[in-house]
Structure 1
Amino acid sequence: MTTRVEQLSDVTERVPTFVAIGSFDGVHLGHQAVLQKMVSEAQSVEARTAVLTFFPHPKRVIQQVSEPYYLGTLDQRVTRLANLGIDLIITHPFNETVRQTRAATFVDELCRYLDMRQLWGGNFALGYNREGDIPFLQKLGEERGYTVQQVDALVMWQGERVSSSRIRRSLLEGDLQEVNGCLGRPYCVSGTVIGGKKMGRTIGFPTANIEFWDEQLLPANGVYAIYAGLGEERHLAAVNVGVRPTVNGSAVSVEAHLLDFDMDIYGHTLHLDFIDRIRPEQKFTGLDALKAQIAADVAQVRELLSGN
């Protein structure tokens, strides 16, 4: 069973622990490779496994990145880490105090609260000005009683290294094949179904308007084939991400038309697994043209997903 705490000082049990530190945004194939190896090694010596993941993302604080950036919510990240067999997940806040913390001080806290025996990661650094690089941490480990396990995290997809930045670039291009390949699963956007203008219902294609987390990065504006998770059910759906130019929309919205479905689901949570992009968003001459295109989109979604 996985335990979750909000900061390092909340850990109440000090036992020998293998620790991985990082943002782990998206928990992509590279992250998975490091953590699966750590879990395997820890289990062989009956040690606890822990991930300390920062939130907000350090770039929000250091580089003051303000636009949508995350590849999923913090709860989604925790769930995916837990599914890898991690025993303890620390969603440590990243703020100016943490930013200014010296590497040796941070390591001492890891040893104090966790009894850290191994520190895992790829080519990483921690502490003020990233002073805690691999040689620094290895030398400090000789004094503090832990070892550094640097794992070659160069997991490849289609001949290129998997990384969170690569996934973000692909999302902005609407390349879901690339995104999902690097993640090892479909890209997911979740949210509560809220009321909208009900324009879709008037043309025979009712949609669920999703109240998504505005800090999560959305795929490029367009129409997508997705699976919509509603409780234990899964439905084929066509989703429009964009500003709805034909009906004079402005703010970006996410609207899902669930195929062969007609139920009131206001207030329910939908989990949208993006599979492929059908087309970019476009403005039509009127509602009849829009209706005809949506019908074609739905047919394409059905053809793409019905066999899966």
Structure 2
Amino acid sequence: MKVYLERGQLRGPVVTIGAFDGIHLGHRILIETGKAIARARRKRFGIISFDPIPIQFFNPDFPMLLTTRSEKESILDLLGVDFIYYFRFDQKLARMEAKDFLKQIVARINPQVVVTGKDHHFGRDRRGGVYLYKRYFPEVLVIEPIRLGDVVCSSTVVRKELVMGRVNSAWRLLGRPYRFQGIVGPGHGKGRKLGFPTINLALVDDGKILPQDGVYLVRCHIQKKVYPGAMSIGPVRTIKEEHSIEIHLLDFAGDLYGEEVGVEILLRLRDLKQFTTADALSRQIRRDIELAKKLVVSL
């Protein structure tokens, strides 16, 4: 997949426009529809997006991302997208009227067909919409929102589900388990003392959103191998507003210090609890591990 960073002239492709954070099932419909049109007309199909995406630009101190830029590009490449064209999202673009943004797209890319969601909005104060696309592009195909039951499939909804700890719902909306990358670093050794050694992870990209504090069943990708595990996400008592990510890998023994780990979050096992004794904590961890072993067989 070709990547354009506000450079390069394209002529007459089929495109869809947006942040595409998470690349959920709604995004997939836009992509597959655009690809089909492009193939039929012997055109290239691509995504027009932003770097950073708007929610990241407007909330720089809060982790909001479902996919990093590199994750997004990897997924789009696997989906068979021909190119992604990034506009740099800064104060100038944030203040730009929707019609002026579309004029830039016409000048640089001149798409012949735009595939868009019915509820898509863009431009200053999100004033632009489908009606404006139809003024500037030769052909606009509007796709109805995708629903799973009563839930509209959107990046906003996926973020909400993760924040509430409903990772199985996020999985359904994304079409795959939610994933993040971490680097194994030093821990306090409490798990090892209890007989359940853990790896302690620091996020590779601290802009990624994490699910609600709790204990989760996960699948870890390490050195081209996959290991199930039980993950605990919770506050670090000695450091205000920071969280620890600890994972006990099932049926694994070894030193992973410094290794990068890809973590897929599969199911929420329970809320965090306070334990008055080490024995009580040890018994609960043992129950968590036994439950994780039973559940991973069915996934």
TM-score above 0.5: yes
**The one of 295, 298, 302 aligned to 2:286:** 295
Say whether the 8 Å CA contact 1:190–1:271 is kept in structure 2: yes
Following TM superposition, by how much is the alpha carbon of 1:59 offset from its aligned partner in structure 2, in angstroms?
Answer: 3.1
Following TM superposition, by how much is the alpha carbon of 1:102 offset from its aligned partner in structure 2, in angstroms?
Answer: 3.0
Following TM superposition, by how much is the alpha carbon of 1:65 offset from its aligned partner in structure 2, in angstroms?
Answer: 6.5
1:178/1:307 Cα in 2 relative to 1: closer, same or farther (>3 Å)? Answer: closer
1:91/1:140 Cα in 2 relative to 1: closer, same or farther (>3 Å)? Answer: closer
Separation in structure 1 between the aligned mates of residue 95 and residue 209 of structure 2, nearest angstrom: 28
Say whether the 8 Å CA contact 2:10–2:110 is kept in structure 1: yes
Amino acid at match of 2:281: L
Say whether the 8 Å CA contact 1:210–1:254 is kept in structure 2: yes
Separation in structure 2 between the aligned mates of residue 131 and residue 284 of structure 1, nearest angstrom: 52
Separation in structure 1 between the aligned mates of residue 235 and residue 131 of structure 2, nearest angstrom: 50
Gaps of 5+ in 2: none
Alignment of 1:275-294 (within 5 A): 275-294=266-285
Say whether the 8 Å CA contact 1:15–1:48 is kept in structure 2: no
Separation in structure 2 between the aligned mates of residue 30 and residue 15 of structure 1, nearest angstrom: 26
Say whether the 8 Å CA contact 2:25–2:175 is kept in structure 1: yes
Match of 1:126 in 2: 122
Following TM superposition, by how much is the alpha carbon of 1:137 offset from its aligned partner in structure 2, in angstroms?
Answer: 2.2
Say whether the 8 Å CA contact 2:64–2:208 is kept in structure 1: yes
Alignment of 1:235-246 (within 5 A): 235-243=227-235
Match of 1:176 in 2: 167
2:67 matches 1:72? yes
Amino acid at match of 1:118: V
Gaps of 5+ in 1: none
2:25 matches 1:33? no
Following TM superposition, by how much is the alpha carbon of 1:14 offset from its aligned partner in structure 2, in angstroms?
Answer: 2.5
Say whether the 8 Å CA contact 1:243–1:252 is kept in structure 2: yes
Helix, strand or coil at the partner of 1:116: coil
Alignment of 1:1-308 (within 5 A): 2-5=1-4, 7-8=5-6, 10-11=7-8, 14-62=10-58, 64=59, 66-122=61-117, 123-141=119-137, 146-152=138-144, 154-212=145-203, 213-243=205-235, 251-308=242-299
Say whether the 8 Å CA contact 1:20–1:119 is kept in structure 2: yes
CA offsets per residue over residues 127-148 of structure 1, 9 Å max, x none? Answer: 333343222221233xxxx322
What is the identity percentage for the equivalent residue pairs of Structure 1 and Structure 2? 27
Amino acid at match of 1:134: V
Helix, strand or coil at the partner of 1:237: strand
Helix, strand or coil at the partner of 1:216: coil
CA offsets per residue over residues 226-266 of structure 1, 9 Å max, x none? Answer: 11111321111000011266xx6752111111111011111
Separation in structure 1 between the aligned mates of residue 31 and residue 24 of structure 2, nearest angstrom: 11
Separation in structure 2 between the aligned mates of residue 220 and residue 280 of structure 1, nearest angstrom: 9
CA-based RMSD: 1.9
Say whether the 8 Å CA contact 2:214–2:272 is kept in structure 1: yes
Helix, strand or coil at the partner of 2:74: helix
Helix, strand or coil at the partner of 1:19: strand
Say whether the 8 Å CA contact 2:99–2:132 is kept in structure 1: no
Following TM superposition, by how much is the alpha carbon of 1:286 offset from its aligned partner in structure 2, in angstroms?
Answer: 2.3
User: So what's the TM-score if we normalise by structure 1?
Assistant: 0.89
Count residues in correspondence. 296
